[in-house]
Chains A and B, each alone.
Chain A
Amino acid sequence: MSEKLNKILELASERRGSAAVVTIRGSVSISDAERLAEKLETFAAEKVPIVVLDLGEMDFICSAGLGAIISCHVKSRHHHGVIKLVAPRPAVRELFETTRLTKLFEFHDSVEDALAV
């Protein structure tokens, strides 16, 4: 279990039409949150209309990681962009609920669902 929570953060992204899909794997710890912020910042700066974050293989995220997602959300709103979150694991989903960030973001079961809506 502790091994899982200490997995190195892996980020992968691809463009799907006008949208960007970012797959986040492993653990978004305090030492990695800046890397996530930089990645998301590029999509906000490019005014990508839909940024889908696939959280299905993300084991953990700290508040700085949540902050990176929020910053992207706030910047994207300037160009009417939206961040969509996909398939967070139960413990991560609970984190979004505890912080009430479920109020800010759309959640979807799959990347395809997120892109279809």
Chain B
Amino acid sequence: MSETIRISSKLGQARQVEKLLLDEAEKFGYGEAAIFAIKLALEEALNNAIKHGNGFDSGKTVEVAFDIDARQAVVTITDQGRGFNPKSVPDPTADENLEKPCGRGIMLMKAYMDRVEYNKQGNQVRLVKRNG
């Protein structure tokens, strides 16, 4: 199944999109660990898009394009912000950063997904999780 959905910059709307995508992955037989990974990556990517990308601006939207089949789940999330350089985010697992409450989203996406790619502007992330 492939589809593109546009949501407003509200965290509550992220839950509905997540449910749709996770239900779809479940239909294709993705296992518990893969479902957990996709949920986590969606949470982090949508949070980044709504909070850091669009700055909770109600006039801006987030586009979620997904293509899920029995082989892999591919989700591309695009915000309407100026973008950022993901390489500029400090390593949250470094001792000096462990007590910082923020900054773990990108690391978690990379740890749990098979591929995480940003566009040049840094306002779009493409997430890939293989089934099995």
Contacts and interface: CB of A to CB of B under 8 A. Distances in A.
Contacts of B36: 5, 60, 91
A78 interface: no
Range for the number of chain A residues in contact with chain B: 20 to 34
B12 interface: yes
Interface string A66-102: 1110110110000000000000000100010011110
A91 B101 CA distance: 20
A95 B37 CA distance: 10
Interface string B62-98: 0000000000000000000000000000001101001
Interface of A: 1-2, 5-6, 29-31, 60, 62-64, 66-68, 70-71, 73-74, 91, 95, 98-101, 103-104
Interface in B26-80: 26, 32-33, 35-36, 39-40, 43-44, 46-47
